[in-house]
Amino acid sequence: MVNKLKNIMEHKIKVIIFDWGGTLYDLKTDTLFDGVPEILFYLSNRYKLVLVSLAVSESSEDRKIKIQKSGVAKYFAQIIVDDKDKDGMYEMVVTDFKIEPDEFVIVDNQVVYGIKWGNSKGAETVWLKSGEFENVLPNVDTGEPSVIVRNLSELKELY
């Protein structure tokens, strides 16, 4: 964890990859979580932001439309939506931006997706421990997140 947090201090981070459902957007109420536009605006002035979304509760096309209508698409350098291969989406970001593990951060509300994948690559991971999956704890398979936050506004203190 110390080495990963060192990347923050040394400003190696170039890209922050966000999950959509449960992280930025409440799928139950069909609304952005409080403060999402503000934190994305803040971070987009410092880093390239990417949105990766696994669309399982609706079609990929419907998810893309929902993201556009939310008003936050303008903050993202890339938006990737798929219905089956989240790891492949992360790999696409790394390839497209030509970034190394110490140059990106993954922010996700589920340890079994973004946190697990980022940890397996040696990247910095931020677990938004809130909502439906906050009690699905990290384990040997997922690894521990670099940072745990309860609210996305805490990212301002980190980045």
Higher-pLDDT residue of 138, 76? 76
Question: Model confidence at 9, in pLDDT bands (50, 70, 90)?
Answer: very low
What is the pLDDT at residue 11? 62
CATH number for the region 2-151 comes to 3.40.50.1000
> What is the model's pTM?
0.91
What is the pLDDT at residue 134? 80
Higher-pLDDT residue of 130, 41? 41
Question: Model confidence at 7, in pLDDT bands (50, 70, 90)?
Answer: very low
d(CA 148, CA 150): 7
Structural domain boundaries of the chain? 2-151
Q: What angle do CA 53, 9, 152 make, to 5 degrees?
A: 35
